[in-house]
Chains A and B, each alone.
Chain A
Amino acid sequence: MDKLRHECDVLVVGGGPAGLAAASCAAQARLRVAIIDDNPHLGGQIWREDQHKQDTPEAVDWLKKVRAAKVELIHGAKVFNHPEAGLLQAETAEGLDELSYQKLILATGARERFLPFPGWTLPNVMGAGGLQALVKSGLPISGKKVVLAGSGPLLLAVAAYLREQGADVRLIAEQAPRHRLAAFSLALFRHPRKLLQLITLEKQLQGVRYLTSCWPVAAEGNEKLVSVRLRQGSKTWNLPCDYLACGFHLVPNTELAALLDCELREGAVGVGDFQETSVAHVYCAGEATGIGGLELSIIEGQIAGYAATRQHEKAQALFGARRKLRRLALRMNRAFALRDELKSLPQPETIVCRCEDVTLERLRTQNSWNSAKMLTRCGMGPCQGRICGSAVEFLFPWKPGSVRPPVFPVRLESLASISQGLEGQR
């Protein structure tokens, strides 16, 4: 097993927009900065490398800045443990990386929230971001019938992208009611960039059916998806499709922060004005601090990068922009809030935990996350509760438990590995 040690002053975990911005700004202080990401390419999810088109200019720009600043780029490395102060362990295909740092900036991003409903485990039912990621990596989508369902602007962005790649987007089903969305669009007038984005999306989606107060009640098919059953008000109907892309918002990836004992607030990493967490020398930026979109992620990344390297004035200069974007994010999250009706979508026999095939009715016999884990094994599989966790917390009033290493499944030999420092103490 290969073992590599990296030493830096500032370590950024996550190579998406927030991470790139943080690293680039931290590097202005002429310290050793490194970014670590588990994907083969930088960009995270939203700036994922695309087979079909060029990276957006903004992404290209940040990537250039980061390379020009000689930031060390560590790809394909999955952070899984924090064995001692100032040290992270990450697993690679060949072995193990040890990362020693003075300051840490967590830019771990977010993942999609999946809500269970009958048939949601059928092949070709995927996350909205998930389907987009696969298409970006080369999945043929031209001529395929796609239905998007769930909630949030991500559905529109994904629908527009898929349409551009030749997909036949049959419907976008948004669970939020029209009046809430209308109120939110008015708020966008104070954010010209966002408004422009919305108008652009609307143009790209001309002719695509967009329904509000609409959600999937079942995915149908035998060995794979053939159609989706939808509901709007008292009406339900079937729509044949090849792919169902579901997304019920994003949830922050807080596992590494929790392992480091950072305080969490409402499922996101709690941060102060300078993006500092409750743990000394640890900062957090981007979606992991709360879902707020691309622009906010970049601003927060910049603030964290400056703050971690004592460039406080530069950080403070961005506070105003951040305040404005956070206000908008708050309004957006309220506008698209998930309705209670979605709690009744899963039936007793609907699988909630896909790793262990635990159904809703088995979960209903439990009264806490802990007992559910112990007695049904929900959340105890390889996804470590990343898929079922947010659904369970939506369906039940349970608090999540503590996080232990490994933060991701790793080879046993990686978990068995200790740093040279600890080796000496044995």
Chain B
Amino acid sequence: MTSAVFDVAIIGAGIVGAACAAECAQAGMRVVVIESDLGGGGATSAGMGHLVVMDDSEAQFVLTRYSQTLWNELAPQLPADVEYERCGTIWVAADGEEMAEVRRKQRFFESRSVPVEVLDAKALEEAEPNLRKGLAGGLLVLEDGVVYPPCAARYLLEKAIACGAEVRMGQPAIEATREGVRLRDGTRIPARATVNAAGAWSPQLTPGVEVQKRKGHLVITDRYPGFVHHQLVELGYLKSAHSLTSDSVAFNVQPRRTGQVLIGSSRQYGVDDLKVEAIMLHRMLQRACEYMPGLAQLSAIRAWTGFRPATLDKLPLIGPFPGAEWLFLATGHEGLGITTSLGTAKLLADQLLNRPSQIPVEPYLPARAKQGAIHA
């Protein structure tokens, strides 16, 4: 072990930390990744792995689209266990009002060169025969896909290691200073810059980081190949993700390459434990069965929860922490961490290396809150 200083210490080996490590290491930086648990133990191992472009806001669209392009470029190199599938998303419309939303989204995406297809009721039924009758239609987003996040994170971490990054597992980082990082057992790791990619735990390392835990439940079934073909999300999902105060569920179902059906989604505030809650499962699964009645009879083999790291304005924090130019944040991705991990890594490396970014970084800078940009 040398006593040389690392260029950057990345705290957290979830998918965001791993992606940042890979990007920085590939750019020639001396990288160390510090992970308290097993790598991917937070939202990365709990979440759905949906690679999705979102149109919630221009900034969200730009980041998700940029990242999705990066995923699609990376796809041919991904090993089989990452289970990358370009299955597409169908945003499902239950009624006329939601069909209007379908058309709004169509205009939004088409004007930004995202290939989409409007499905009427019949086309929706043909695309997904297990959806209930009587739905109005949907929007198929062709270039969306899915991955299996733990293996995706591991792939990125191994890429980082192949470019010389070091990984220190098992000890949490408890302090980050301009000299570097101190671990719980007292070890000091000298680094010129530190990146807090600790997801839901980022405020513990960096007090003042406005990231809150937003709990989600998931259920996975046994293998039923062909039951569902695309990631299916109800348009009411947006109403659910918009709510900042109340618990909510939404229909959100994913086909896994194994043939298992992954079922979400739910959001809760102010819950600090990971216990599976009967009421949330009830609401979430009931909602799912409303859209896909056949789900009720499938065998459910596991249920679990995870914490999404949520920010107040629904955009991640990527960039220097105000007041500490050696400390960078790459956190607060809520439910879009898997998708935007690659874009985040680029933007972060750009800022560390002072190189120009492919997309504007301002909307994601931690300093934006101080500027009173958006505050809910």
Interface residues in chain A, defined as those with a beta carbon under 8 Å from any beta carbon in chain B: 1, 81, 83-84, 367-368, 370-371, 374-375, 380-382, 384, 404-406, 409-419, 422, 425-426
Interface status of B359 (Cβ within 8 A of chain A): no
Interface size classification for chain B: 20 to 34
Per the bound structure, the CA–CA distance linking A417 and B296 in Å amounts to: 11
Contact between A417 and B279, CB atoms less than 8 A apart: no
CA distance A352 to B289 in the complex (A): 35
Give CA–CA (A384, B222) in the complex, Å: 11
Q: Which residues of A contact B289 (CB under 8 A)?
A: 412-413, 416
What sequence of 0s and 1s flags, for each residue 35-68 of chain B, a beta carbon within 8 Å of any chain A beta carbon? 0011111000100000000000000000000000
Residue B338 interfacial (CB < 8 Å): no
**Chain B residues in 8 Å Cβ range of A417:** 282
**Nearest 4 interchain pairs by C-beta:** A416-B285, A83-B278, A413-B296, A374-B150
Q: Is B296 in contact with A411, judged by CB distance below 8 angstroms?
A: yes
B3 contacts across to A, CB distance below 8 A: none
In the complex, which residues of chain A have a beta carbon less than 8 angstroms from the beta carbon of B45? 374
Q: What per-residue 1/0 map shows which CB atoms of B2-43 lie under 8 Å from chain A?
A: 000000000000000000000000000000000001111100
Give B190-230 interface residues, CB cut-off 8 Å to A.
219, 221-222
Indicate if the CB atoms of B222 and A409 lie closer than 8 Å: yes
Interface string of B63-95 (1 = CB under 8 A from A): 000000000000000000100000000000000
Q: Which of A1, A374, A412, A422 contacts B278 (CB 8 A)?
A: A422
Complex interface residues of chain B between 153 and 180 (CB less than 8 A to chain A): 154
Interface membership of B151, Cβ < 8 A = yes
Q: Which B residues are in CB contact (< 8 Å) with A410?
A: 299-300
B296 touching A416, Cβ below 8 Å: yes
CA separation between A367 and B295, bound complex, in Å? 35
Q: At the interface, yes or no: B298 with Cβ under 8 Å from chain A?
A: yes
Instruction: Write out the residue numbers on chain B whose beta carbons fall within 8 Å of the beta carbon of A384.
Output: 301-302
Interchain Cβ contacts under 8 Å between A and B, 10 examples: A1-B296, A370-B38, A374-B40, A384-B301, A411-B298, A412-B285, A413-B285, A415-B303, A416-B282, A426-B279
* Given A416-B296, A422-B279, A380 and B302 contact (CB-CB distance below 8 Å): yes
- Taking a contact as CB atoms under 8 Å apart, the answer to whether B278 and A81 are in contact is yes
CB atoms of A426 and B154 under 8 A apart:
no
Would B38 and A374 count as touching, CB distance under 8 A? yes
Q: Is the CB of A404 within 8 A of B302?
A: yes
Q: Which of A384, A409, A414 has the most CB of B within 10 A?
A: A409
> Measured between alpha carbons, how far is A382 from B45 in the docked complex, in Å?
19
A404 x B276 contact (CB < 8 A):
yes
User: Beyond the given A380-B302, A384-B302, A406-B301, could you list 6 further A-B residue pairs with CB under 8 A, ordered by the A residue number?
Assistant: A381-B301, A384-B301, A405-B303, A412-B285, A414-B300, A426-B279
Chain A positions within 8 Å of B300 at CB level: 406, 409-412, 414-415
B304 on the A face (CB < 8 A): yes
> Which residues on B are within 8 Å of A, measured CB to CB?
37-41, 45, 81, 150-151, 154, 219, 221-222, 263, 276, 278-279, 281-283, 285-286, 288-289, 295-304
Query: Contacts of B37 on A, CB cut-off 8 Å?
Result: 370
Given contacts A375-B151, A412-B297, is CB(A405)–CB(B276) below 8 Å? yes
How far does the Cβ of A377 sit from chain B's closest Cβ, in whole Å? 8
A415 touches B281 (CB 8 A): yes
Residues of B within 8 A of A414 (CB): 300
Complex alpha-carbon distance, A216 and B83, angstroms: 37
| Smallest CB gap from B292: residue in A | A412
Chain B residues lying within 8 Å of A370, measured Cβ to Cβ, are: 37-38, 41
With the chains together, A84 CA to B301 CA distance in Å? Answer: 20
Q: In the complex, what distance in Å separates the CA atom of A425 from the CA atom of B247?
A: 14
B residues in contact with A411, CB < 8 Å: 296-300
| Contact (A418, B279) CB under 8 Å given A374-B38, A382-B222 | yes
Tell me whether A404 and B303 are in contact (CB under 8 A). yes
CA distance A81 to B81 in the complex (A): 32
Is the CB–CB distance between B299 and A418 below 8 Å? no
A417 to B289, CA, bound (A): 12
Residues of B within 8 A of A404 (CB): 276, 302-304
CA distance in complex: A367, B38 (Å):
9
CB neighbours (8 Å) of B297 from chain A are 411-413
**Nearest CB in chain B to that of A415: its residue:** B300
Q: Please determine whether A416 and B286 come into contact, CB atoms closer than 8 angstroms.
A: yes
- Closest Cβ–Cβ distance, residue B152 to chain A (whole Å): 11
- Whether A368 contacts B299 in the complex (CB less than 8 A), given A409-B222, A416-B289, A418-B282, comes out as no
> Which A residues touch B302, using CB under 8 A?
380, 384, 404, 406
Expressed in whole angstroms, the Cα–Cα distance for A48 and B302 within the complex equals 29
Contacts of B263 in A (CB 8 A): 412
Q: Compute how far the CA of A416 lies from the CA of B32 in the bound complex, rounded to whole angstroms.
A: 44
Measured CA separation A175–B74 after assembly (Å): 51
Q: What residues of chain A lie closer than 8 Å to B288, measured between beta carbons?
A: 412
A353 shortest CB reach to chain B, Å:
13
Q: How far is the CB of B295 from chain A (nearest CB, A)?
A: 5
Nearest-neighbour CB distance to chain A for B278, whole angstroms, equals 4
- Give Cα distance in the complex from A367 to B169, angstroms: 11
Interchain CA distance A409-B40 in the complex, whole Å: 25
- Set of chain B residues within 8 Å of A418, measured between Cβ atoms: 278-279, 282
The answer to whether B38 touches A382 (Cβ under 8 A) is no
- Counting chain B CB atoms within 10 Å of each CB, the highest count among A405, A410, A422 belongs to A405
**B299: which A residues are within 8 A, CB to CB?**
382, 409-412
Are B150 and A426 touching (Cβ within 8 A)?
Answer: no
In the bound complex, residues from chain A placing their C-beta under 8 Å from that of B286 are: 416
Query: Nearest CB to that of A411 among chain B residues?
Result: B297
Known: A404-B276, A418-B279, A422-B278. A412 touches B38 (CB 8 A): no
Docked complex Cα distance between A357 and B298 (Å): 22
CA distance A19 to B302 in the complex (A): 28
CA distance A405 to B277 in the complex (A): 9
Smallest Cβ-Cβ distance to A425: which chain B residue: B279
Q: How far is the CA of A246 from the CA of B39 in the complex (A)?
A: 37
Residue of A nearest to B41 (CB): A370
In the assembled complex, the Cα of A155 lies from the Cα of B276 at a distance in Å of 40
| Closest A residue by C-beta to B297 | A411
Q: How far is the CA of A83 from the CA of B222 in the complex (A)?
A: 22
Tell me the minimal C-beta distance from A159 to chain B in angstroms: 35
